[in-house]
Amino acid sequence: MSRLQNLGVGKRLGLSFLLVTLLIIVSVAVGRFGMGSQYDISMRMDQLKQVEDDVQKLSYYAADITGWQGLVVADAGAFGGKVATGPDAYNRKGELESKQALYDTIDATHVEYLTPAERAQFDKLRPAWDDFFTWDAKIMELLAQDTREARAEAMNSINGGEAAESYSASLEINAALIDSLAGRVVALQKEAAEVKSDSERILLGTLIAALITAAGLSITATRSVVHPLRRVVSALGLLARGDLTVRLRMTRRDELGQLGDAVDVTAESLHTTVTVLADHSTSLAASSVQLSQVAEQIAASAEESSVQSGVVAAAAADVSRNVEVVAAGGEEMGVAIEEISRSTSAAASVTAEAVRVAETTNTMMAQLETSSAEIGDVIKTITSIAEQTNLLALNATIEAARAGESGKGFAVVAGEVKDLAQETAKATEDIARRVTAIQADTTAAMEAIGRISEITGRINDHQAAIAAAVEEQTATTGEMNRNVADAATFSNEIAANIAGVAEAAAVTTEGVEQSRQAAAELAEMSTSLRELVSRFTV
């Protein structure tokens, strides 16, 4: 049975048809053999009929000759012996014609159809008739004498003499031949009946064997094809319903076994694909959570930057007001040196506070830049996962296309997974652009804060110069006024830079909100992906 299963379906069906054809050929051969045997018997029967007809003619001519002979004897009594035995006498002429016909029949008899025993009997027939006609000639001579004694002697020869013995011998030979031929005819008829019966029996047996063999081969071939096909259909049905654990594990090596192996390979490939999708959906969910956490950190940093910007702005306002006071004091320098000294000390204190706030803000901006870099790393991870998910969805679509009609359902799911992966890629690209913008704004803010630090350092230097100038107020009033003007300019720059920092913090806050939305979308995509994967049994 295993060898039959390893044969191809075409070879298996061809072998079945070949066996049935051979049985049909045997049936036809048996029928032809029976017909040939019957034809041979019929030919031999015809031959025997021909011989029988020849022997029957001999019997007819034997009776005819004796009849004519009796009429010649009667003519001799009525018309005289010479007249009756003359060659032109009617009855004598009839006897001679029958004699010739008898000899012609002996010559024409189909002796080739006789058995050796029959041929031996037949060979005695001509001598017996030769002897009969020898005595017949003597009888004709006696009748021609036209005497009573001669006629009496002729009658004695006919009735019980030598002529009668010759005639009886010919009749016995004819009878023996007829009996032998009749026996042979009966034997041939019996043989014909037996041949017919045997042929019909063998033909019927062969046909029955052919039918049984054909039925057995049909059932065997059908089962060997239908049963594995049903298993394949059942397995494909389970695959269509999402059961990826089904395996056929066929051991046969025909086309159906190859089909079963293909189904197993497809199921294994789908199992691997869905398992990887499930793992990646989990990783995507974790990444979305991490992205949300990073966004929260950025939001906190941006809020703190905004608060510090407010503090720096207030300090800058104080610096501006103090510079105005210094300018006013410059006009009254001669009368308010102590007030200038106090204002200068206050300005130095405010400047130191501005330096500290600028340094704190610079540190926050560095943290903001680090957080932005971390967001970029997370986005790269999400992008890599989305690309892998897209590749897996493409592979699943290809495998579903190979599965044909039974893989259409999985092809739809694979398409949805591919769409989700593409949406994920788009969302991460959007986040990447926004994070890049945040990083750029953060860099600008850090540069502005650096300038603020530089400016506040310069203010501090100028305050020191102002302190020195207070000691030399009388000689350096003009220089002090110029420094005060510079301080006013620098305080305005500080205010402008602080406004830029506040604006960058606002932009960062907006980017963080967008990052939160992207993280939420990633979480939703991960949930949808897990729901799709959960439809399959792995």
Q: How many whole angstroms from its chain centre is CA 44?
A: 64
Q: What's the domain count of the chain?
A: 2
Tell me, what's the pLDDT at 480?
Answer: 55
User: Which one-letter DSSP state was computed for residue 249?
Assistant: -
Judgement on whether residues 192 and 270 belong to the same structural domain of the protein:
no
Tell me, what's the pLDDT at 177?
Answer: 92
pLDDT (average), residues 414-425? 78
Q: Domain containing 308: what range?
A: 255-534
Confidence band of 340 (pLDDT split at 50, 70, 90): very low
CATH number at residue 465: 1.10.287.950
Confidence band of 291 (pLDDT split at 50, 70, 90): low
Judgement on whether residues 370 and 515 belong to the same structural domain of the protein:
yes
Mean predicted lDDT score pLDDT of the chain: 79
Tell me, what's the pLDDT at 523?
Answer: 79
pLDDT tens by residue, 487-503: 567 656 756 765 675 67
User: Which one-letter DSSP state was computed for residue 537?
Assistant: B
Neighbour count for residue 265 (Cβ, 10 Å): 12
| 535, pLDDT greater than 60 | yes
Confidence band of 172 (pLDDT split at 50, 70, 90): very high
Tell me, what's the pLDDT at 322?
Answer: 64
Tell me, what's the pLDDT at 319?
Answer: 47
Question: Among 211, 229, 247, where does a domain finish?
Answer: 229
Judgement on whether residues 132 and 169 belong to the same structural domain of the protein:
yes
Judgement on whether residues 486 and 402 belong to the same structural domain of the protein:
yes
Q: 513 versus 150: which is more confidently predicted?
A: 150
Judgement on whether residues 269 and 417 belong to the same structural domain of the protein:
yes
For residue 101, being part of any structural domain is answered with: yes
Long-range CB pairs of 177-180, under 8 A, 24+ apart, other chains included? 177/51, 177/55, 177/118, 177/121, 177/122, 178/52, 178/55, 178/56, 178/59, 180/115, 180/117, 180/118, 180/121
Contact 84, 92 (CB under 8 A): yes
Neighbour count for residue 173 (Cβ, 10 Å): 22
| Tokens matching residue 236 | 């494909």
Q: 433 versus 310: which is more confidently predicted?
A: 433
Judgement on whether residues 321 and 178 belong to the same structural domain of the protein:
no
Most confident listed range (159-168, 298-307, 397-406, 465-474): 159-168
Tell me, what's the pLDDT at 226?
Answer: 80
pLDDT (average), residues 351-378? 71
Tell me, what's the pLDDT at 62?
Answer: 92
Three-class SS of 14-78 = HHHHHHHHHHHHHHHHHHHHHHHHHHHHHHHHHHHHHHHHHHHHHHHHHHHHHHHHHHHHHHHHH
For residue 31, being part of any structural domain is answered with: yes
For residue 241, being part of any structural domain is answered with: no
Listed residue (181, 190, 195, 184) closest to 39, CA to CA: 195
Listed residue (28, 400, 23) closest to 214, CA to CA: 23
Judgement on whether residues 320 and 189 belong to the same structural domain of the protein:
no
| 133, pLDDT greater than 90 | yes
Tell me, what's the pLDDT at 105?
Answer: 95
Return the SS3 of 243.
strand
Q: 208 versus 285: which is more confidently predicted?
A: 208
| 2, pLDDT greater than 70 | no
Tell me, what's the pLDDT at 465?
Answer: 74
Taking 3-state DSSP, the helix, strand and coil percentages for the chain, each rounded to the nearest 5, stand at: 90, 0, 5
Torsion over CA of 188, 190, 192 and 198, rounded to 10 degrees?
Answer: -140
| Tokens matching residue 429 | 């690209």
Rounded Cα–Cα distance for residues 44 and 51 (Å): 11
Rounded Cα–Cα distance for residues 262 and 258 (Å): 6
User: Which one-letter DSSP state was computed for residue 109?
Assistant: S
Rounded Cα–Cα distance for residues 37 and 195 (Å): 7
| 323, pLDDT greater than 50 | no
For residue 335, being part of any structural domain is answered with: yes
Confidence band of 35 (pLDDT split at 50, 70, 90): confident
Judgement on whether residues 221 and 267 belong to the same structural domain of the protein:
no
pLDDT tens by residue, 435-489: 688 678 768 867 865 775 686 678 568 667 746 765 776 565 577 567 656 756 7
Confidence band of 309 (pLDDT split at 50, 70, 90): low
Contact 122, 177 (CB under 8 A): yes
Confidence band of 264 (pLDDT split at 50, 70, 90): confident
| 245, pLDDT greater than 50 | yes
For residue 386, being part of any structural domain is answered with: yes
Q: 14 versus 361: which is more confidently predicted?
A: 14
For residue 235, being part of any structural domain is answered with: no
Most confident listed range (116-125, 308-317, 318-327, 462-471): 116-125
For residue 248, being part of any structural domain is answered with: no
Judgement on whether residues 223 and 318 belong to the same structural domain of the protein:
no
Residue that the structure tokens 């869905």 belong to: 274
Query: What would you measure as the largest C-alpha separation in the chain, in angstroms?
Result: 226
- Letter string b/e over residues 136-165, b meaning 16 or more CB atoms within 10 A of that residue's CB: bebbbebbbbbeeebbebbbebbeebbbbe
Judgement on whether residues 202 and 267 belong to the same structural domain of the protein:
no
Judgement on whether residues 352 and 418 belong to the same structural domain of the protein:
yes
Tell me, what's the pLDDT at 320?
Answer: 62
Tell me, what's the pLDDT at 510?
Answer: 76
| 135, pLDDT greater than 80 | yes
0.75 exceeded by pTM:
no
Tell me, what's the pLDDT at 346?
Answer: 73
Judgement on whether residues 215 and 271 belong to the same structural domain of the protein:
no
pLDDT tens by residue, 177-223: 999 998 998 988 898 888 888 888 888 888 898 889 888 877 876 77
Question: Among 214, 229, 244, where does a domain finish?
Answer: 229
For residue 243, being part of any structural domain is answered with: no
pLDDT tens by residue, 67-81: 999 999 999 988 898
pLDDT tens by residue, 88-123: 899 999 999 999 999 999 999 998 988 999 999 999
